[in-house]
Amino acid sequence: MKVLVTGASGQLGRDVVLLLKKEGHSVLACTRDQMDITDQSKVNDVIVSFGPEVVIHCAAYTAVDAAETDMDGAYRVNAVGTRNVAVASEKVGAKLIYISTDYVFDGASVTPYQEYDNTNPQSVYGKSKRAGELLVQTLSSRWFIVRTSWVYGLYGNNFVKTMLKLGQEKPKLQVVHDQKGSPTYTVDLAKFLLDLMADEKYGIYHASNIGSCTWYEFTQAIFEEAQAIAGLSIQAKLEPCTTEQFPRPAPRPRNSVMDHLSIRTNGFLDLRPWREGLKSFLISKCKDE
């Protein structure tokens, strides 16, 4: 298939492009330099000239805290940019896969969020991503919205890499223990996106590695697996703390665990458990180094 990927230099985009090429698809990997999604005429030119059958829209403004003081920037990319991609994709009759986030929910639920639950984003980032969802649903006739959470991979900066670095440098580390979610390895998410694009079971999907943990529990697992797999010397003493002890400009969902109702009811293969994904990441990271 002919597939165009936006945000191709990001941590998810890079793994999506690598997997697509490995599977023999014809890929146009678009970075910001090649196609600024906020420039409507440029987006039209690139998408219409390539004529993709599928557009996987990974490009996003993801600086959660910066968005609180840069509302226009966040909406320019996540809403206006997504509109531009949706309109151009519709012109060429392409399926559109939009990558969204757990931040569209307020985190107040005591149970995992299902795809059809009401959204209630609390941060500028979450609101701008929800705006993107609405534009996709309004402007595209063949759309998938894929909400994911706690994403990490080999490329770019992420929580796992930060914790590995700090664990080797700091004598003590405090990590939040009252926010719960599901870590998601980019390679596993990319595989799911390839399954999705081959089908016509359009709609909203929640896709993360199976299971849940707090950031503190995730860090515990990172340290345990890094020591077992890579023989890393972790010196930091890990301590749990509360959200209030670690104030950030943008509010974080306390519970961002998502139920994979659409994956089950549409007969797709679910992502593997999060700890298995973490092990695979660490093995790949060792080989990469």
Find the mean pLDDT for residues 249-262.
96
Q: Say how many domains are in the chain.
A: 1
- pTM score, two decimals? 0.97
Answer whether residue 18 is part of any domain.
Answer: yes
Per the residue annotation, which of 61, 75, 125, 152 is the catalytic one? Answer: 125
198-236 confidence digits (pLDDT tens): 999 999 999 999 999 999 999 999 999 999 998 888 889
Is 286 inside any structural domain? no
CATH number, domain at 261? Answer: 3.40.50.720
118 found inside a domain: yes
User: Is the distance from CB of 88 to CB of 47 less than 8 angstroms?
Assistant: yes
Pair type for strands 184-185 and 2-6: unpaired
* Residue 98 counted as domain residue: yes
Tell me the per-residue pLDDT of 68-88, one tens digit each, with 9 for 90 and over.
999 999 999 999 999 999 999
Look at residue 204 and tell me if it is in a domain. yes
- What are the backbone angles phi and psi of residue 153, rounded to the nearest 5°? -165, -175
Residue 65 lies in domain: 2-158+182-210+256-273
125 is catalytic: yes
DSSP state of 197: H
Is 137 domain-assigned? yes
Distance CA 123, CA 79 (A): 14
Residue 65: inside a domain, yes or no? yes
pLDDT in tens, 167-178: 999 999 999 999
Examine residue 111 and state whether it is found in any structural domain, yes or no: yes
Q: Which pLDDT band, with edges at 50, 70 and 90, does 246 fall under?
A: confident
| The one-letter amino acid at 15 | D
Q: What is the mean pLDDT of the chain?
A: 96
